[in-house]
Structure 1
């Protein structure tokens, strides 16, 4: 299955209102896809990883970035651009904002998925319908019903459930790194930064998966559609409505009028 076929299937079965996004870690600058924008070079400022995904899913832009383009210190560590300094590992970034102690903050930082410096590279995001290379990971934003639809599609052949973890921060690592490391799809509750910096809306969630699962997902979307699991969710309308007493009284008068005619 190619990327364009995957994109078409998502639009057919899930009908997202922003572009599905491919994410790829590219080692060498010479291997970056054509027409990718570099934040410092093309915008004149650094951005966050979640902003890169936002540009791709809302503007249709391809973004390529490394540590020099990245403003978020948590992502600098998570994506292997900077080392885990003691100030970070001790929990100072989380403490006072997300946790009430350094110990809890340290546990939160330890839990963030991370790439090593050797695994790191240019973080590239792009809309699937304009892909020129196969992604490592795909992320799809949507409402809860659309994410449910994707979960149903992914489980069509394998059954069971999809385990995911939620922490309210660093969802960029959960979206991209966790599927790379575990091979498993992820349901994403967008983090605070994703909402603040990338304008992710209150009604939105996300679903990410390793690209090697693309064909399984598409087959599952088609199979569940055939079985009756669809989006938009059908509404059950085949019932007789019940009205307030005054409405019922008028209907009764209509009936009595007809009987006396």
Structure 2
């Protein structure tokens, strides 16, 4: 039987399976094009599979198709995915479904490593491509949004985002997670709705340097809130 790539990722993530896929194993063509297993034909580049179902006109459909990330044609024959804890080969990328809070923390760790923000190409389509190909080509982290197929056919949840890092950054990520946890920048993130909350000393210092009033206001009387 054939699978969509998002389904293969889901089986690896949720069932602990290692799955190899070549062109003949794919059911959805977008990762076949994105991974360079087939040529970006003129028919594809003209946007015919997007128009009229999900794009307002053929010009816009062609714009999306021409900008979809892709690997060079015929440079790779297939791909293998496996869960991180049992992977017996060095992967090209590490991708995971995480929630919004976990995404925030991973982005904080990334900034801890090199001070650079993650700049991603976002789309509501083909998350299997957007989560892997840019990170593979640029050797950098990326964030991608689960597509309709990932949600409908591979059980991606409403609160999930895909975060991808490259294996050579994993030691730095582990070090960053541990360091931030020790310095009150880890998880869980405590939620509080408090005016003039306690600031970290360096936040207060920089605010003062910018001419901000960083002194806490005197207490004010509290009144019963009528409902």
Equivalent-residue separation in structure 2 for 1:159 and 1:141 (angstroms) = 24
**How far apart are residue 98 of structure 1 and its match?**
2.5
Structure showing greater Rg: 1
Distance 1:98 1:231 in 2: 39
Question: In structure 1, what is the equivalent of residue 91 of structure 2?
Answer: 135
| SS of match in other structure, 2:81 | strand
Q: Residue 150 of structure 1 corresponds to which residue in structure 2?
A: 106
2:52 aligned with 1:101? no
1:98-157: CA deviations, max 9, x gaps? 311111111101111111233222211111111111111001211100111111111102
Change (3 A) 1:245 1:207: closer
Contact 2:37/2:78 (CA < 8 Å) preserved in 1? no
Could you list the runs of 5+ residues in structure 1 that have no partner in the other structure? 1-44, 247-261
Q: Report if the CA contact (8 A) 1:155-1:220 is conserved.
A: no
- In structure 2, the residue matched to 1:40 is none
SS at match of 2:164: strand
1-structure distance, mates of 2:176, 2:75: 31
TM-score normalised by the chain length of structure 2: 0.81
State the 1:245 CA deviation: 6.7
Q: Which runs of 5+ in 2 are unaligned?
A: 198-221
The partner residue of 1:208 within 132, 154, 164 is: 164
> Residues 67 and 236 of structure 1: is their aligned pair in 2 closer, same or farther, counting only changes over 3 Å?
same
CA distance in structure 2 between the partners assigned to 1:155 and 1:200 by the alignment: 27
Q: In the alignment, which residue of structure 2 is the partner of 1:18?
A: none
Q: Deviating runs (4+, > 3 A) in structure 1?
A: 235-239, 242-246
Distance 1:236 1:86 in 2: 54
Paired residues of 1:183 and 1:210 also in contact (CA < 8 A): yes
Indicate if the aligned counterparts of 1:152 and 1:221 stay in contact, CA closer than 8 A. no
Alpha-carbon RMSD? 2.1
Higher helix share: 1
Corresponding residue for 1:74?
30
Residue 141 of structure 1 aligns to a residue in which SS?
strand
User: Residues of 1 paired with 2:71 and 2:225: CA distance?
Assistant: 65
Please tell me whether the aligned partners of residues 150 and 156 of structure 2 are also in contact (alpha carbons under 8 angstroms): yes
